[in-house]
Structure formats: structure tokens, C-alpha cells
Amino acid sequence: MNYLIVLTYVFSFGIADCLWSQMNKQTSVFTTMLIRSMVTSLLFLVLTLLLFYFQKSESKALTVPIFLYAVVISIICYGGQLFYIRSLKHANIAVSVTLTTILSSFISLGISVVYFKEPLTAYTVGCLLIALTGVCVAANGFDIKEKPTYKTGLLFILIASICWGTGYTFIKDPIQALGIVHFSLVLEVTILVLNIGLFTRAGLNFSTIKAGYLSNRGLLLTLGSLIFLGTLFNSLSYVYFSIIALTVISKVGLIVPIVYATIVIKERLTIRQVVGIALTITGATTLAFSL
């Protein structure tokens, strides 16, 4: 049952990533990011109010230091998303996905061992290396120098990896301090405020939001709902799994964009991708069944 929690957040984020790429072709990035965060924040606000109404709200003491800590971690996580999206303009998606996955995994691994004192065994490292090898093998079109501005892309990939590897590792502390739903609400409201700032700075206005929403209402609502599910179950997964275990098991999310490309975009599944998927699943499930 606990593994369903991880798979729910992994596949929710995976499907959302695929919708991101589709939305970016139809609507400006800032408009999509803003409307998405509005939908997700609203859903978390409704969930918080429902829990309060039914007197099942998480009884966690909210102090200024804890709140500020949660906001800082939220900003760091947001930085990962922002620089990852920016990297896609300077590097192809195979390079961005593969490098951010590998770099953020090792950053997260290092922090979990040094800061959280989680035990690291040769068996766990082996499972992670098998899963990451699968990610590399499955990557199609891995050409770092494909675009002239690839050096800028690599810089953004590095920044995104540091933000994600750090943010989604230290995220465990504010989740324990605030509770799953309350932290998720703080996270999404922080992202919403940051998106409003970027949206305004880009010179966009309410009519842009309205036009973007009306033209892609279904996709935007689906995207916001998927991020809601992914964020909720991602926070919940820290209750049942160590950070190291989540770092390895979450790699099964590689399957989602490949299946999406095969079914929706009608790309042909290659033998290399099949081998990569098999290696990734092998590394993730081998560790999962040993816990």
C-alpha cells in the first residue's frame, strides 16, 4: 500500500511534465505556470478548510521560524522548476531530463547521508546506479551540443539540479513540523506568489490569463490537479520512506514520458528505450522489495 503513495506522486508529476511540454506550445510559459499554481493552491486551500471543518486538521504548532523555513524550502524547490524550464530553451529535453535526474539524485543522496544520517549500503548504491543507468540508456537524442547556447543550458541544468536535490531533501523537516497538508499549502501559495511576480514582470495582464485559461481550460485544470496529487502524495511519502529509498524508487517516473511519446505523439519505442526502462524498473523495484 505504501508503494502506491510513491507511484501516485511519481506518475502524477510524470504526466504533468508531459502536459507541460504540450502547454508550452500553445500558451506562454508564465501564463501556464501562473494558472497552474492558482488551481493547485485553490485545491489545497479547499482541502485544508475541509479538514478543519471535519475537525481532522493536522495539530502542528505554527511558529514564525518554522513558517519561514517552509517558505525558504518552497522557494528553493521553485527555483528547480524555473531553471529546468529555462534549460529547455538551450538544451534538448533528453539532455535536461537525464542530467537533472542524475545530478539531483547524487546531491540528495549526499545530503541524506551527511545531514539526516541515513544509512547508505552498497546494495542501495547498486540499485541507484542500475536505475540511473536505465535513465541514461533510455534517453533519446542525447546531444549536449545540439543547440548553440548549450553552455547556458548546462548552467541552468546544474542550478536546477542543486535546487531540486537540496529542496526536495530538506523538505522532510518542514513536512514533519507543519504536517503534510499545511506544508503543501504553504509550498503552493509561495509558488503562486512567485509566479505572480514573474507574470507581472513579463508585462502580462489579466486578459492574458483569461485568454490562456479559456483556450486551454481542460489541460490547465488537469495540470493543476495532477500537481496537487503529486505534491500531496510526495509529502506523504516522506512519512513512510527514507530519502535514499525515495531517490531510487522515484526513478520509475522515467516510464511516463516514454509511454506518452509512444501513445500520444506516436513515436516509435526503440530497443534502447525498452532496455533503459527495464534497468530503471529493476533498480527501483529491487530496492523497494528489500525494504
- Closest Cα partner for 48 from 215, 221, 255, 232? 232
Cβ distance 37 to 188 under 8 Å? yes
Q: Which three cell numbers stand for residue 155?
A: 548552467
How far CA 205 is from CA of 38, 39, 141, in Å, comes to 15, 18, 37
pTM: 0.86
In the chain, domain spans = 2-288
Tens digits of pLDDT across the chain (291 residues): 677 888 899 889 888 877 876 776 667 777 888 889 999 999 999 999 998 888 765 556 668 888 999 999 999 999 998 898 888 788 877 788 888 988 999 999 999 999 989 988 899 899 999 989 988 887 766 677 778 888 999 999 999 999 999 999 999 889 988 889 999 999 999 999 999 998 888 787 888 788 877 788 888 899 999 999 999 999 999 988 888 888 888 888 777 777 776 776 666 778 888 888 888 888 888 887 666
- As a whole number of angstroms, the distance between CA 128 and CA 280 comes to 9
Cβ distance 71 to 190 under 8 Å? yes
Residue type, 42: L
Render 90-158 in DSSP notation, one character per residue.
TS-HHHHHHHHHHHHHHHHHHHHHHTS-----HHHHHHHHHHHHHHHHH-SS--TTSSTTHHHHHHHHH
